[in-house]
Each structure stands twice: as structure tokens, then as C-alpha cells.
Chains A and B, each alone.
Chain A
Amino acid sequence: AQSVSQHNHHVILSEAASLELGCNYSYGGTVNLFWYVQYPGQHLQLLLKYFSGDPLVKGIKGFEAEFIKSKFSFNLRKPSVQWSDTAEYFCAVNSNTGNQFYFGTGTSLTVIP
């Protein structure tokens, strides 16, 4: 079975600091990779996705993620966080032939003004 590991459970940053959240997955085949975000009181929503092609993908609100196949990683980055980025972030994976999605345990990000 596939699994997803998120290394950071709670992250606290000051505004304008840079962000990197780690995500590693275990699956030997071709995968699709996702980052979802859950803002306080809101629906879980897609932040960005990687299916194929350029391993550096850009999402909404200035976020980006880099797929490194050799490391089975898909880390999320943002050069300068804002207070409004306070949320819970989930990494997810599914195989491109599968119906199930596997989520990491989530990282709670708090940005201090």
C-alpha cells in the first residue's frame, strides 16, 4: 500500500519568513501528487498538483512544490509567508491507475504577524 509522510507536524513562522514543508511517499510506480490546504473553518481545497512534466509546479497564493523522483519527495515551499497562510496543509498521492488517495498526517502552520 502507498503511504505519505509529512515530517513537520506544527510549524510556527513570522510573516515574511520562508516556508518549506516536507512530504515523502512510498510507491514504486507512477504517481500523482497533491498538496491540499484547509484554512480555519473552510473546506479542504487543492493548493497544487503534479501529474507529469516540469517537476517544479506552481499553485495558488504563491506556493510551489518540487517533485524529486529519486527522493520520493514533493516538498511545498513559499518564499515569504503571510498571516493568511495560517492553515493545515496535507500532502496526498494516488497512483495514476488507482482510485484511492493517500494523505499525510498534515502540518499545522501558524504565521505570526
Chain B
Amino acid sequence: DGGITQSPKYLFRKEGQNVTLSCEQNLNHDAMYWYRQDPGQGLRLIYYSQIVNDFQKGDIAEGYSVSREKKESFPLTVTSAQKNPTAFYLCASRQGDIQYFGAGTRLSVL
């Protein structure tokens, strides 16, 4: 069953803590994306990667980091520098000009 798998579904972060959100795809897509979704603000791009070992900052990259060591995986780390991390995070892969989305991870701060 092909698709984008994000885990965990819910995540809680303590003050000063780094947390990592997982995104895995078995669609053999080269490009992958991370978005943040906040109420009334739509989807905003955090980072994207066109190929393995390469990634670019999106519009709101501050306080986040990514890696792309494997084609299938594009984890996102929310660092302690991100002062307002509470949001819904969506991962996507891309084939041609169409994006395919995961189910999302909801991150909350304790």
C-alpha cells in the first residue's frame, strides 16, 4: 500500500527540547516537502528536498532542521529555537507537479 507515512500522529514537546517528526514514503518520489499548518494561515513551507543529500529552506525554516540521507525518508527536527512550535505538520512528496500528503503530526508544547 503506497503512500506517505508520518509518525507519530501526536507529539508533545517540553520547553527547551528538540523533537523529530518522521516522514517516510514508498512512492519512489525524488522530491519531499515539510509544511506547517496553522488555523487561518494555510500551509507554509518549512523545507523541501529535490534529491537525496540536498534540501532548501522554505519561507519559515527558522527553528527547524531536516536531513535527507535516504530517498524514502525526510525527518524534520523542531529545535528549541522554534518558539511557537504548536501546529499541525504535513509532509508531502511530489511526482511531476502533483504533491501527495501524509496524514500529519500534531505537535503541542507542554
Contacts and interface: CB of A to CB of B under 8 A. Distances in A.
A106 B101 CA distance: 16
B63 interface: no
A105 B41 contact: yes
A72 interface: no
Nearest to B40: A105
A80 interface: no
Interface stretch (B19-27, B43-51, B65-73, B79-87): B43-51
B98 interface: yes
A4 B44 CA distance: 11
B43 A103 contact: yes
Interface string A28-49: 0000101010000011111001
A9 B4 CA distance: 28
B26 to A, nearest CB: 15
Contact of A49 (B35, B90, B97, B102): B97
Contacts of A105: 40-42
A101 B45 contact: yes
Contacts of A103: 35, 42-44
A100 B48 CA distance: 8
Contacts of B41: 105
A94 B43 contact: no
A97 to B, nearest CB: 11
Interface of B: 4, 31, 33, 35, 40-45, 48, 50, 56, 58-59, 90, 92, 97-99, 101-104
